[in-house]
């Protein structure tokens, strides 16, 4: 007999349910944390704004990485390959590079 997973309820308030659009994420880390700063920046703009900072443990970040990969595979199976545009948008969008916080 398989052990049952614990069940719990997650509350999603109206404000959070609306979501926050982001077209850029900056990733940093310390020995004990992974920091994700989700931002928005307009093409050609010199300044953007961080709308949400998520801080998690490295094990939780690894689980997020796996869950995101699994969901992207399912998405592409259902809707087709996701195309990533060329280098003309190098400074706009999601970047797996580091920021100043990883030197801690």
pLDDT in tens, 62-96: 999 999 999 999 999 999 999 988 755 454 555 55
| Two tokens, residue 44 | 């050609």
- Name the more confident of 92 and 29: 29
pLDDT, mean of residues 44-49: 94
- Cα–Cα distance for residue pair 85/91, rounded to 1 Å: 12
- Using one digit for the tens of pLDDT, what is the confidence trace for 50-65? 999 999 999 999 999 9
pLDDT of the residue at 3: 78
List residues bridging with 36 in a β-sheet. 27, 54
What is the pLDDT of the chain when averaged over all its residues?
A: 87
Q: Give yes or no for a contact between 41 and 48, defined as CB atoms under 8 angstroms apart.
A: yes
pLDDT of the residue at 45: 93
Taking the domains of the chain in order of start, what are their residue ranges? Answer: 20-80+92-103
């Amino acid at each position: 007999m398989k052990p049952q997973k614990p069940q719990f309820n997650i509350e999603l308030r109206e404000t959070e349910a609306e979501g926050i659009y982001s077209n850029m994420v900056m990733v940093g880390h310390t020995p004990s944390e992974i920091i994700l700063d989700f931002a928005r920046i307009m093409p050609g703009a010199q300044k953007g704004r961080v709308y949400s900072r998520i801080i998690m443990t490295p094990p939780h970040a690894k689980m997020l990485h796996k869950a995101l990969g699994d969901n992207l595979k399912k998405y592409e199976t259902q809707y087709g390959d996701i195309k990533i545009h060329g280098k003309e948008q190098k400074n706009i969008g999601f970047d797996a590079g580091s920021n100043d916080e990883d030197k801690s």
